[in-house]
Amino acid sequence: MNDVLALLDSQDPSLAPAEPEDRAVGLAGSLRVIAAMEVYWRSITVAQHALWFLGKTRGKKVLGILYAGESPSAAAIDGSESDTIVAGRALNLRLCPTTYANALALHAALPFTKPRTLGLRTSAGCGDRLGLATPGHVRAIRKTAIAPIFTQQSIREMERTDRTPEDVVNDATWGVLQEGWRDGYGADADHLKSRADIDVCVAAGFTFYTFDPREHVDNDAHTAGLPVLREKVAALPWDRLGDTEAAMRARYGRTFAIEEGLTLAFDQETLLRAAAKYGWALAHVAELYRYLAETMGEAPFEVEVSVDETDTTTSPEEHFFIASELKRLGLEWVSLAPRYVGRFEKGVDYIGDLDAFDQAVAKHAAIARRCGPYKLSIHSGSDKFSIYPIVARHTAGLAHLKTAGTSYLEALRAIATIDPWLFRDILDFAFERYETDKATYHVSADPSLAPHSSSLADGELTSVLDNFHARQMLHVTFGSVLTTRDGDGRFVFRDRFFAALESDEEAYYRVLETHFDRHLAPFTT
């Protein structure tokens, strides 16, 4: 117990360096006795003459704060306080639930737990549909110099999992504390489409905002003939764009030197196609950006622009047009996701010609350097192992990898070993739900080529996650698995799902760490 007192006797109120593992493990043992709960040793933090730690008791995670005398920072966090004697000294022990309100108070007390902006560093978005994955993500990120976004979820995913923006911020906050991650992380409000989306995410504390104007992209313009393109361009919202067609034609009436070996030229058809295809989307994004800037006030924020979830690819000329027009409209952004060649289906590797992708990404990366610099963003980036080296090579660090559903799939991998019968039930359910749930996703799984649970021994269940067709089926049915109720209003799977993962947290963290090591390694060499 003297080790605990020695830390509390520190005269420096600032954040103390993290304790070495052997010492932290010993401290966790002492705190286990004092607080009567298991303590996550990496969470132990000394700051403001108090010892902060995260523990678990009766299946619930609890914030513990141990201090002598008074502590305004501790008092700001809702909880129950008691007196305790440690090695003959009277101390205060405050035990606090891991609520969103307490997460906000923790952000003030321990600023490393609060999301922040990340700038142009190579980054990775680690989506977490369950709210349990951050510790596994941290363990993989810790081996790299990559800037992480641990708080990431789209509005669509939140709706499908019955989560709120506050839930997403809250869960990542406590995961960051649990693992003692002090090197900063972002919070991505993904695929925002409206002012209402912005409002709820700003209120929750996000720092990174991804605008998704897919509904305003005119995919028909991709193949339309010149007469139709002229009509479409004439009908663009020129007042909202602060522009005229004549002025636009004049701006692009020359050749643009991007980098050595790459020049772009806009003939009439190329320019009109780019404008017709993306003009309405640019107006929409500009309005969302201005609203976000007004809403955020003096608070720092970052923006990503995404046109990836569209039916047609973004040519180098169209990418240059988008970036040039965003700059003219006064926007600042850190990353942009064009629609690349090939297929970026959910949960599986890239489908397409790797040589064609290589050539296209080289041009997109050059444009990002010329028009920014900003990062090229890879959406639906989970499990695209064949393209990571290509992206890393051409972007030279200006890359953002965005993952989401793969962490849910790795949860299923863990469940296959923890509770095989639950995994079998979920797999059977995926066959029932796939045709309905795939509607809003780019997938091509054929259920007839996926294994049924009845054909597998327990030891073969994890192999299901390596089957293309089963993997996509399980990927897109996540919302139904997490929210479906029976006739009595009880969750069919959700409670069993979380109970299984919480019964063996380390099993989930291990598979996540291994899986994300594969994702991140190409971007670290």
Give the Cα separation of 392 and 384 in Å (integer): 12
Q: What amino acid is encoded at 479 in this protein?
A: G
* Backbone φ, ψ for residue 237 (5° rounding): -80, 75
Q: Which of 190, 317, 383, 513 is catalytic?
A: 190
Say how far apart CA 165 and CA 162 lie, in whole Å: 10
Annotated catalytic residue 419: no
220 in catalytic set: no
> 292 and 202 in contact (C-beta within 8 Å)?
yes
Q: How far apart are CA 172 and CA 165, in angstroms?
A: 11
Mention every residue, 6+ apart, whose C-beta is less than 8 A from residue 35: 53, 55, 62, 64, 66, 93, 95
Catalytic residue among 304, 317, 318, 325: 304
Q: Is the dihedral of CA 306, 312, 313, 318 positive or negative?
A: negative
Distance CA 471, CA 383 (A): 11
In whole angstroms, give the CA distance from residue 505 to residue 268: 59
**Cβ(409)–Cβ(432) below 8 Å:** no
Cβ atoms 211, 283 nearer than 8 A: no
Q: What does the block give as tokens for 477? A: 């049915």
Cis peptide before 373 (omega within 30 of 0): yes
DSSP character string of 446-514: -GGGSPPGGG--GGGGGGGGGSHHHHHHHHHTHHHHHH-B-TTS-BSSHHHHHHHHHHTHHHHHHHHHH
Write the DSSP symbol of residue 382.
T
- How many CB atoms are located within 10 Å of the residue 32 CB? 16
Beta strands of 144-299 (E only): which ranges? Answer: 147-154, 186-192, 208-211, 255-259, 262-265
Helix (H) and strand (E) counts in the chain: 21, 16
Is residue 261 left, alpha or beta, with left meaning phi > 0 and alpha meaning psi from -120 to 50? left
DSSP state for residue 97 in the 8-state scheme: E
Per the DSSP assignment, residues forming a β-bridge with 444 are none
Write down the residue that tokens 């109120």 correspond to: 13
The tokens describing 29, both together, are 């043992």
Task: Give the residue numbers annotated as catalytic, written as ranges.
Answer: 190, 304
